[in-house]
């Protein structure tokens, strides 16, 4: 089944919004700290159940990855069996190149901001100071993830314009070639 540009846009947008929602909820559910319980020679930490934070953090990362993969794939997908050469697409406009690179950059920053506190939260039980992940990183990562999704959607719109211009130019060149022969 061939996907349309509208379907790609919906997948990218829906995945990005889910990444944002899971990241914000993970931030909201994260405990502030653990309770130190002194034992003989060691300090044990009792944490409120925070596995939901870890699971939500990983879900947020997963949907950011889905949004990014489909965002990139949608740019090069051969709609109706016709694809534009990558070189032509990237030379189509400076704006396209800026949005493409910004989409990649924000996806990377969003993934880092989501992954770091998620991993920290998962492994915080081994530390005797009873810390938790830094507050605000999951929420910040969620917002950057949403930003990344918006950049992919704008890049997809710019790619659509570049495809239309390219195929109209190809059609004109073919018509001109037939007229001169």
Q: By the 8 A CB rule, do 19 and 145 touch?
A: yes
pLDDT one-digit tens code per residue, 4-60: 889 999 999 999 999 999 999 988 877 666 666 667 766 666 666 667 788 899 999
For the chain, which domains are there?
5-179 (1.20.120)
CA-wise closest residue to 50 among 67, 65, 70, 30: 30
* Mean pLDDT of all residues in 158-179: 74
Q: What is the dihedral of CA 158, 159, 160, 163, to 10 degrees?
A: 130
Considering Cα of 6, then 7, then 8, then 9, what sign does the dihedral take? Answer: positive
Eight-class DSSP state of 135? T
Helix or strand (DSSP H, E) at 166 = helix 137-180
Return d(Cα 125, Cα 107) in angstroms, integer.
29
Neighbouring C-beta atoms of residue 97, cutoff 10 Å: 15
Q: What was the pLDDT predicted at 124?
A: 66
Residue 49 corresponds to which tokens in the numbers above?
């159940």
User: Is it the case that residue 128 has pLDDT exceeding 90?
Assistant: no
Measured CA distances, 164 to 120, 126, 135, 144, 153 (Å): 47, 56, 46, 30, 17
Query: The whole model's pTM is what?
Result: 0.81
Return d(Cα 137, Cα 131) in angstroms, integer.
14
Using only C-alpha atoms, the chain has a radius of gyration, in whole angstroms, of: 23
């Amino acid at each position: 089944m061939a996907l349309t540009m509208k379907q790609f846009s919906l997948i990218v947008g829906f995945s990005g919004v889910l990444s944002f929602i899971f990241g914000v909820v993970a931030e909201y559910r994260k405990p502030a700290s653990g309770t130190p319980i002194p034992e003989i020679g060691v300090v044990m930490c009792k944490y409120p159940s925070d596995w939901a934070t870890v699971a939500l953090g990983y879900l947020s990362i997963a949907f950011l990855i889905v949004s990014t993969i489909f965002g990139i794939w949608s740019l090069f997908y051969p709609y109706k069996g016709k694809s534009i050469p990558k070189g032509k697409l990237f030379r189509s406009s400076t704006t396209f190149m800026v949005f493409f690179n910004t989409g990649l950059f924000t996806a990377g920053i969003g993934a880092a901001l989501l992954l770091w506190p998620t991993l920290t939260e998962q492994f915080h039980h081994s530390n005797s100071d009873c810390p938790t992940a830094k507050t605000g990183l999951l929420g910040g990562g969620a917002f950057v993830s949403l930003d990344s999704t918006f950049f992919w959607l704008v890049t997809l719109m710019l790619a659509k314009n570049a495809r239309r211009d390219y195929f109209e130019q190809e059609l004109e060149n073919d018509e001109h070639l037939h007229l001169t022969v």
